[in-house]
Amino acid sequence: MIPVGSDLELKRTPVATLIIIGINVVVHISQFFLLPQHYPWIIKYLVFSPVTYNPLSVVISMFLHIDFFHLIFNMVFLWAFGAALETRVGRKNFLLTYFGAGIWATALWIVVEAFVRPESTIGLVGASGAVSGVIALYLYRCFYSKIRMVVTLLFLPWRVSIPAAPFIIIWFYQNVIYSVADLTEPSGTAHWAHIGGFIFGLLVGRIKRYGHEGRLEHLNTRLLERLRSGDGWKSAEKELKKLLGVSPNDPVVHHELARLSVQNGDAGLASEHFQRAMHRYALTEPVHAAFVVIEHADTLGKPMALHHHLKAGEALAASGYVEDALRAILPAVRISEAGNAISEKALALYAKVLRHLGKTDAAGEAAARFRELFPESKLAAGVQAAMGKQPNEVFAPPPQKPAAVSSKASVQPEDEDREYTVLGILACFENIISQPYFLFPWICFSLFIGFAFGGFWPLHVLSFMFCFVLAAFIVIDWSSLFRSFSSTSTESARNEVDIIQAFDRASLAERGDNFQKAAELYEKTLALDPRHVQARFNLARIYMNRLLNNAKALLHTRLLLQHLPPAHPYHGEAQDMVLKLKVKLAKE
């Protein structure tokens, strides 16, 4: 069984993995240009062994391989596990793990050799110890994935996908058995180096807590798949609860569970999740926390504790969301009483907000009430100064976000397109070399070259190129490819991608409290896919609770009901929304 890849998406080009593979290939090919008299010097100074005098040989020996098949197997394993891993743990951590595991593997191997065979002068070459560390870290971080394997059945290779965790555990168990056997009879393979590298990879995963990251990614991926299906948050209830178990302090999870509890009619549980989301947002994103306070009052019909509404109003006003600040502060203003510090601050802010919004009469009444209830307040001067300002001048405009300074933020569209092109080429290459049409003839050619020509490397390269071209002609559906230039298949694929991107961007805008932008993006999603249930539901909710456009909210809710079967989780809530919106429109 040979692993040729995984089912995990490459988030970006695995540059470090490709560079390591490239260096190993170049070093191996360069060995064929050496003269026979060079080999003693290489063994003495570059190959790590008990009699090597070069301390750098610990690293150099990782790039030396005995033969072509030794190189190919190590590089195939490195690509299968390293490419997806690098894009998740980062290039720096990946390189540290790779070389750290290689050094650790060499150290364990030399210790075992010193105890078992102290007179031995055998050297250690190959990247298998470092690759073992990568495999171990992959197990820790990407345990939920599947590995694409090529299995030989009836002398023919077949492609299968198997869970990564059992495969890696069985592989390690085999190495343990072989390592014990090596203590009495050397096999020629450094199984103790495999164990050393594997242990190092597990230690890195434990120290860095990559297992936690893996569980989060797994659950988030399943959750996103549910949402992209258009069936709504209610269909993802199980994934949300699992995600909460893994990440109990995630405010986004609490926020969505609160909305889900509202849909289920559990006001108590909804209030609990709203408050937990608000408290956790407040630590880093006070504006998010403020909108959660407003949503709690709007959806459950009752306010949170008054000091939360005061903090929400202050955060929103300071950030330029003055109209929303008015909505947040109203519950605290309605219960204003003399001698109450919260009422004092709330009424002062209320008067300033009204003045900023140009509601002169209401602002004057609020200021008069403030002076009546709190005649000696230290906030009186600020209220009086606000009354003397022009509308829209009471609060400073929201601060502008600084220009992008990081490399990630300054990525240009053409750079992003280039990245996707590279990833597409890598995916195509991986797909072709994992085909039986490539592997079977290439293995046959390689064995023949090895026996007949002593592994002459140019013939290996030519056989690889010939088999690759042969597999490409068989695998690629050329007729469909040519038809795509004159048909709408490319447009259909692009349309599907546009739907996913528009919905994802709309969701991000909604979570970032940019509701006008979110509404525009949800409208774009629906223009591409009018039957997208979650987009329609989110848009109706935004128009109803955020943008206060009851007419549009009613329109989209009715359209939503047209596409929903009675058994759908959103059907009952949509009917309730229609009744509420009709009442609101009647009052208008």
Q: What is the pLDDT of residue 496?
A: 67
Question: Could you give the angle at the alpha carbon of 277 between the alpha carbons of 276 and 278, nearest 5°?
Answer: 90
Torsion of CA 42, 44, 46, 49, to 10 degrees: 130
What number is the average pLDDT over the span 447-457? 69
Q: Using 50, 70 and 90 to split pLDDT, how confident is the model at 177?
A: very high
Cα(505)–Cα(257) distance, integer angstroms = 21
Q: Which residues in the chain are classed under CATH 1.20.1540.10? A: 2-208
pLDDT tens for each residue of 197-236: 999 999 999 998 888 888 878 877 776 666 555 555 555 6
What number is the average pLDDT over the span 302-326? 89
Among candidate residues 2, 123, 111, the one with its CA nearest the CA of residue 62? 123
Cα(363)–Cα(85) distance, integer angstroms = 59
Cα(545)–Cα(552) distance, integer angstroms = 12
Choose between 484 and 580: higher pLDDT. 580
**Whether residue 336 has pLDDT greater than 60:** yes
Q: What is the pLDDT of residue 424?
A: 66
Q: What is the pLDDT of residue 154?
A: 58
Provide the H-helix boundaries in 357-390: 360-373, 380-387
Contacts of 165 (CB under 8 A, 6+ apart): 139, 143, 144
**Whether residue 397 has pLDDT greater than 80:** no
CATH 1.20.1540.10 corresponds to the domain 2-208: yes
What number is the average pLDDT over the span 181-210? 89
What number is the average pLDDT over the span 311-320? 89
Q: What is the pLDDT of residue 401?
A: 40
Q: Using 50, 70 and 90 to split pLDDT, how confident is the model at 21?
A: very high
**Cβ atoms 142, 223 nearer than 8 A:** no
Average pLDDT of every residue of the chain: 81
What number is the average pLDDT over the span 409-414? 45
**Whether residue 454 has pLDDT greater than 80:** no
Q: What is the pLDDT of residue 176?
A: 93
Q: Using 50, 70 and 90 to split pLDDT, how confident is the model at 580?
A: confident
Cα(445)–Cα(84) distance, integer angstroms = 30
Tell me which fold the domain 489-587 belongs to: 1.25.40
Q: What is the pLDDT of residue 92?
A: 93
Q: What is the pLDDT of residue 334?
A: 77
Share of residues in the chain with pLDDT > 70 (%): 83
Provide the H-helix boundaries in 319-395: 322-334, 341-356, 360-373, 380-387
Among candidate residues 309, 307, 306, the one with its CA nearest the CA of residue 326? 309
What number is the average pLDDT over the span 409-424? 55
Q: What is the pLDDT of residue 490?
A: 47
Q: What is the pLDDT of residue 502?
A: 78
Q: What is the pLDDT of residue 486?
A: 44
Q: What is the pLDDT of residue 161?
A: 86
The pTM for the full model equals 0.63
**Cβ atoms 289, 315 nearer than 8 A:** yes
Q: What is the pLDDT of residue 170?
A: 93
Q: Using 50, 70 and 90 to split pLDDT, how confident is the model at 30?
A: confident
Displacement of CA 83 from its chain's centroid (Å): 15
pLDDT tens for each residue of 345-360: 989 999 999 999 888 8
Cα(203)–Cα(132) distance, integer angstroms = 13
**Whether residue 168 has pLDDT greater than 90:** yes
Choose between 102 and 151: higher pLDDT. 102
Among candidate residues 141, 2, 167, 194, the one with its CA nearest the CA of residue 79? 2
Contacts of 211 (CB under 8 A, 6+ apart): 140, 141, 143, 205
What residues pair up with 149 in beta bridges, in sequence order? 3, 160
Q: What is the pLDDT of residue 322?
A: 87
Q: Using 50, 70 and 90 to split pLDDT, how confident is the model at 410?
A: very low
Q: What is the pLDDT of residue 339?
A: 63
Q: What is the pLDDT of residue 489?
A: 45
**Whether residue 487 has pLDDT greater than 60:** no
Q: What is the pLDDT of residue 414?
A: 53
Element (H, E) at 570: none
Weakest-pLDDT range from 229-243, 307-321, 538-552: 229-243
pLDDT tens for each residue of 37-72: 777 777 777 888 877 767 888 888 899 888 888 888
Q: What is the pLDDT of residue 226?
A: 64
Q: What is the pLDDT of residue 135?
A: 95
Cα(145)–Cα(140) distance, integer angstroms = 11
Range picked from 189-203, 478-492, 536-550 for highest mean pLDDT: 189-203
**Whether residue 485 has pLDDT greater than 60:** no
Weakest-pLDDT range from 120-129, 375-384, 484-493: 484-493
The pair of three-digit structure tokens given for residue 136, joined into one six-digit string? 């171990």
Q: What is the pLDDT of residue 102?
A: 93
Q: Which residues in the chain are classed under CATH 1.25.40.10? A: 215-387, 489-587
Maximum pairwise Cα distance, the chain: 104
Choose between 465 and 98: higher pLDDT. 98
What number is the average pLDDT over the span 275-284? 89
User: 215-387 maps to which CATH number?
Assistant: 1.25.40.10
